[in-house]
Structure 1
Amino acid sequence: MAAYLVAGDRLFRAMDPGGELNPEKLPPTLRTELEAALGKKQKKGDSRSSPERLVSFRLIRDLKQYLKESGSTLYLHELLEGSEIYLPEVVKPPQNPELVARLEKIKIQLANQEYKQITRNVTCQDSRHSGTLSDLGKQVRSVKALVITIFNFIVTVVAAFACTYLGSQYIFTEMAPQILAALIVASVVGLAEMYVMVRTVEGEFGEL
């Protein structure tokens, strides 16, 4: 927080023996503090940023009170012409190495967590390989099961037809009724097998 002014040349000249603020007329305490702040007892060629030119706000208030009580026609803002508020440079304390290392560790952990959260839906290389092989194996097994099902369907229908045809010889003496009976039985068995095959194929494709 600012608490000082860098006194300008106007205030410095006013403190000269022939200036508006005649040091002989000032209260002793105020005169001593002003001379010490302006470096009047030292060299006059001091720089404006020199510590000898720093005037505290309290001293400025005392000077204002003096001008008011003495009935002076000199205003404070005239004396402060060219003066600037002194803002000391803020010196940052050195960082604790342990704290810096801990902060870096926390940053790394947060970065890793963010990376995992971003890539949680992305499959890794092993997952890609295993997924491809497993999918291929599942498709091969499905095709194999479908071929076996079709083969079983054909064998079952043919067997039903053959068995019915041979068995009907003991009932019918003519070939036409025998073939008709064999076709009816084979159709019924074929429809039943087809229903089972369709349900099996639906189940296989549903797992893909």
Structure 2
Amino acid sequence: MTTHKGPISDPTIKMKPSETLYKYITKLKVPLEGLPPGIHALITKSKETCHSETSTTHSHLLVAEDIEKIKYLEERMGKNLSYSVPKADKTKVVDKILTVPDLKWLYDHCVEENKQNAEKIYFHELIEGSEMLLPPNQQIPRNPEVEKRCERLRIAQENEKYRNMTKNVDSVRKKLPEDTLGYQMKEMNKQLIAIFQFIVSVAAGFAFGFIGVEVLVGPLDFGFKLLLGIIFALIIALAELYFLAKKLSEDFKEPDIQKGKTKVD
């Protein structure tokens, strides 16, 4: 299911220490009381690992006489007393993750060590190569109904694109009406008629203002007649543009509505 990013639930910034920083932390000789959780976990895990490796090394200290005695006891008792080396438990793994309090404690510890020792240890050199882990966004699943609707629309668009690509090579399929020459000529005639009507209406309005008003009220000055013709022509032009734009918008919406009904059916 598709998901989208939500708010950050845990804003804690974490760091995965580099090998240099990890070795430095595990070699610290400090009391475990009061340590930050990340530093405490790394030091404790390091000590447990060293202890298990030491016990495993001692378990291999068997000489030839001990092995002969084990075989002799097996023959006498009829049991398998072969010594099996205990394997270290690898399931318990502590993540090498440090938080801001761990890094702050480590920085303060480095400052105190540099004050007491001649050999300086710089904090920026320790964290070099470490990986910064930014807090991830919460993944919120999308609404199943919205996902289904988007999937249906995506399939419909892909089918429409496929039909448009293959309509020229499919002799059985009927061509779309808008692809025929008659449809194109009809649309062009409609546009030409609308433009012609616009020109005739504007010219008639100008003629009415320039000549018609003079016929009704008597002789007028030429400039005044010209001004009246321009005023009437502008009024009729604005009205014609409004109705022309409205008609064009209806013509554009009608094919989209018909396509939508066809897809839903």
TM-score (norm 1): 0.38
Larger Rg: 1
Which has the bigger relative contact order, CA under 8 A and spacing at least 6? 2
TM-score (norm 2): 0.31
